[in-house]
Structure 1
Amino acid sequence: MFCTCALMHELSNDGARQQFESYLEEMVLPLMVASAQSGERECHVVVLTDDDVVDWDEEYPPQMGEEYSQIIYSTKLYRFFKYIENRDVAKSVLKERGLKKIRLGIEGYPTYKEKVKKRPGGRPEVIYNYVQRPFIRMSWEKEEGKSRHVDFQCVKSKSISNLAAAAADMPHDQLVALHAGPQVDELDILPNHQHHPDPDAPAL
């Protein structure tokens, strides 16, 4: 039984590698090119399902962080990243392609505003509904602040110009959504509903 399980595990790893290489070419690389063309040195991608709806209030958007995230709407890729083993395979593929500072995990992503509370002094506190979705973060620079060139070793089967053209041809709402989302460590998982802590609440 042990040998059979080990064989199935290796077969799954081989299948996951082939599948992720396909996802990388079709979905992730165009986002990397779009980030590079806007002057970014790294890419933070959140994978939502096909049915997820992001409806941020223009007046009260989620609190912005320092990094911007891009969105891929793909239930297939979402299901792929649900398995830790698949995330490990994906990380090894990204390393082989020359990418740096790679992180894969699960994070909470704000989808819609639940309510707005007025704080003392009239300052609003916005509470959003969060869903747990996979994310990828990576950089193509060798070392932050020291690299002098973009290291696109990951591009093997297509040229930069072809990828740039592919990125330009993809519908904007499917290609890039430049929104900031909260980031957690790759081993952390946020609850389904999260809101910003109340600074006036008594300490536990």
Structure 2
Amino acid sequence: MLTTGICHYPVPGVDPPRDRGAAFTERGGRWNEQTGASGRPLCRNRAQPAIPTAKGARRGDQYRSARPRAASGGRHGDRRKDGRRRVVTGDGEMQGGGSNWEAITTAAQYKLDNLTLIIDHNRLQQGARLADTNNLAPFPPKLEAFGWAVEEIDGHDMDQIVRALSADAVVPGKPRAVVAHPNKGNGISFMSDNVAWHHKVPSAEHYKQAMAELEEALQ
């Protein structure tokens, strides 16, 4: 489950949604420049991959919705083979309201060891760095204090990611938190660790340069 939904991020080819839907057209991306919008189009699941998503009016509402799903999956079975629930959230979202932390304490209380929370700890949020707003880092000691099993990983290492999400990593009786440390815009010189690119829409020139740099890195 993604707490922000795919369309929290700038999506090339997505026009502004007039009916809260989205259309993929050749004009996509231009609306940001014309209207001054933030580059965060809203879209229905029809414009997203076939994975569970949840959106709420407040930060944290989405993760809170995963808690009862994990509870029902652990006690009453689940269509998934392993019965696990995995939630991805941003480090900035961990600041919002109290519902994230309410869900965290409750998951530990009910020993939901089929629940995994992945925190995308890239240190950036829209308009500012995490350290310049409400800096909750480091996350591990806080989560451990609430009774969670915690692991920190390199957010760019797929071997570490797969291992951290495997059934072998489960600690019986404890929900699991994976604090991933990626670098936003990794591999692209003008985007890397640049807060402006948290939501900025790339121009055709930006796209061409970024793809050239990534292709060179793969050689």
Q: Please tell me the TM-score bracket, short chain as reference.
A: under 0.3
Q: Which has the higher strand share?
A: 1
Greater length-normalized contact order (CA 8 Å, ≥ 6 residues apart): 1
What TM-score do the two structures reach when normalised by structure 1? 0.26
What TM-score do the two structures reach when normalised by structure 2? 0.25
